[in-house]
Amino acid sequence: MVNSMHTPFILAPMAGCTDLPFRLLCKEYGADLCYSEMIDSHALVARQQDCLELLLTNTAEQPVIMQLYGSNPETMGEAAAILSAQPIAGIDINMGCPMEKIIQTGAGAALMKSPRLAEKIITSVCKKSTIPISVKIRSSWNQHLITAPEIARRAEGAGAQAIAIHARTLSDGFTGSIDHRVILQTMESVSIPVFANGDITSHEQGQALLKKLGCAGVMIGRAALGAPWIFSGTVNQQPSMAYRIKALLRHLELAETHLGPEPGLSKIRNHAWKYFRGTTTGPAIRRQIDATNTYSELRVYVHTLAERLLSA
């Protein structure tokens, strides 16, 4: 999956965010590899429609990795078999999500305190899949016992071909800084590629982390929302308002092309205001975006804003 690819800058999987339009946009800005939103293994096996919609892909975004989550080895294996039939480059197993509703099911980062169950899941997925497998992990469940190196070793032994590590514990959530020592310990514990995730807020920071750690790639999540140019080494990381609105217009164009003329309002609205984070007019723009009640209203507002910004 990754040994034959040049994948230093990677779009991380984010629920409700990394759908096909956003992945395509990030590819256009230079992302080497993109991960899908997390896919519920039980819902996929049950062929639930809302889950099947997450499988939407096309040739323009390849290579793409689709991410599965769950805590039942057999169900995860069945889901992997279904995903293997899709035109994708690989499957990722989510062992890093800190969301409470995921943790309560024993999935996501809850698996960081159960290395044996984690290994059973990875083994089942690798056996059922006909395409490469990666595993996304955290440092551990809490600071008292770091399990990332052990789970990475078990993952490699079970057949996984890459590891992505968000070097915070579940109890950390998204607070504090990532622990570079845990990333290095994880890299030393395996021979497969390791991607570092967390605390990367600019292209320059990503390059610096690659150089410092010598990891196979860096995975960027929240910092890419409203700023797909983070994947480009040639774009000003604090672009003009005109540049921001052009990026948003392209995002809307991709959404309308691939999701239909009326894409889901809440998801697009959540993306739209982020293009103006950190700007003086950002808060006012967000209020206007949040006040829209339909996608059509949002589209009209964005195009009106574009006319004003691009003619200024």
The Cα 222–Cα 241 span in angstroms is 20
Check residue 176 and give left, alpha or beta (phi > 0: left; psi -120 to 50: alpha).
Answer: left
Q: Which long-range contacts (CB under 8 A, 24 or more apart) does 257-262 make?
A: 257/21, 258/20, 258/21, 258/24, 258/56, 258/58, 259/19, 259/20, 259/21, 262/294, 262/295, 262/296
190: three-class secondary structure by DSSP:
coil
Q: What type of residue is 156?
A: E
H or E stretch at 180: helix 180-189
**Are 165 and 217 within 8 A, CB to CB?**
no
Q: Which residues are known to be catalytic? A: 97
Longest dimension (CA), the chain: 60
Alpha carbon separation from 114 to 71, 120, 186, 268 (Å, rounded)? 10, 10, 17, 36
Residues 6+ apart with CB under 8 A from 280: none
Q: Do you find a cis peptide bond into 63, omega within 30 degrees of 0?
A: yes
**Are 142 and 171 within 8 A, CB to CB?**
yes
Query: What angle do the packed helices 265-272 and 295-311 form, to 10 degrees?
Result: 20
Count of other CB atoms within 10 angstroms of residue 140: 25
How many angstroms from the chain centroid is the CA of residue 49? 22
